[in-house]
């Protein structure tokens, strides 16, 4: 019982972050997965476990391999393993701010802010403005290709947020 309470305390920040950042729908999906996995784990001590897990999976609308995969992931990684991949990726992206070796952080922020303007300027145009600003401010600036990479990351981030 003490172990269960400790486990809940460890899971609480993850649950709160999912609900706050990604909304009620993401929270409900995670809780459904958790409940299903906990039921599957409880079945491991009874006879005909596989048959009962098959029935459980079918009744919940997931495949048997998915149920087994989720159960193993949960045993290895806890609740974080059950977080849907797109949400987990977004959380990890937030944790590690993208760094570009050839550019100062301020230069990356400049490119990001320029790209998010309306109407959206072209990447070569942003790069020319970046070069002018970097001369004035003394920033380390990479190549035009690095600018394209920054813009690609912005687009991927926006795309992943729209898919949540």
Tens-place pLDDT, residues 64-119:
999 999 999 999 988 888 988 878 777 766 554 556 778 888 999 999 999 999 89
Domain assignment of residue 130, given as a range: 105-162
Q: Are residues 30 and 111 in the same domain?
A: no
In a domain? residue 154: yes
Q: Are residues 8 and 72 in the same domain?
A: yes
Q: Are residues 78 and 33 in the same domain?
A: yes
Question: What are the helix (H) ranges across 43-78?
Answer: 49-60, 64-77
66 near 57, Cβ under 8 Å? yes
In a domain? residue 39: yes
Give the residue from 95, 115, 131 where a domain finishes: 95
Phi–psi pair at 96, nearest 5 degrees: -115, 110
pLDDT value at 159 more than 60: yes
Residues 88, 161: Cα–Cα separation, whole Å: 12
Q: Are residues 73 and 6 in the same domain?
A: yes
pLDDT at 154: 82
Find the radius of gyration of the CA atoms of the chain. 23
In a domain? residue 14: yes
- Band (pLDDT 50/70/90 cuts) for residue 2 is very low
Q: Are residues 66 and 120 in the same domain?
A: no
- Closest to 144 in 3D by CA, of 159, 128, 158, 161: 128
If one counts the domains in the chain, the total is: 2
Residue 89 CB neighbour total at 10 angstroms: 14
Residues 93, 164: Cα–Cα separation, whole Å: 14
pLDDT at 97: 53
> Rounded to two decimals, what is the model's pTM?
0.53
3-class state of residue 36 by DSSP: helix
In a domain? residue 100: no
Q: Are residues 131 and 112 in the same domain?
A: yes
Q: Are residues 57 and 86 in the same domain?
A: yes
């Amino acid at each position: 019982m003490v172990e269960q309470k400790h486990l809940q305390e460890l899971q609480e920040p993850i649950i709160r972050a999912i609900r706050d950042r990604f909304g009620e729908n993401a929270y409900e999906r995670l809780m459904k997965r958790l409940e299903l996995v906990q039921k599957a784990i409880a079945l491991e001590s009874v006879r005909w476990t596989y048959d009962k897990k098959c029935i459980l999976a079918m009744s919940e609308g997931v495949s048997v391999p998915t149920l087994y995969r989720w159960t193993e992931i949960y045993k290895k990684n806890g609740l974080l393993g059950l977080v849907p991949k797109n949400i987990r990726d977004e959380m990890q992206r937030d944790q590690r701010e993208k760094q570009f070796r050839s550019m100062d952080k301020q230069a990356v922020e400049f490119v990001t802010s320029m790209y998010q303007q309306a109407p959206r300027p072209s990447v070569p145009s942003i790069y020319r403005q970046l070069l002018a600003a970097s001369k004035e401010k003394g920033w380390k600036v990479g190549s035009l290709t690095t600018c394209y990479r920054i813009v690609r990351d912005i687009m991927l981030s926006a795309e992943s947020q729209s898919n949540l």
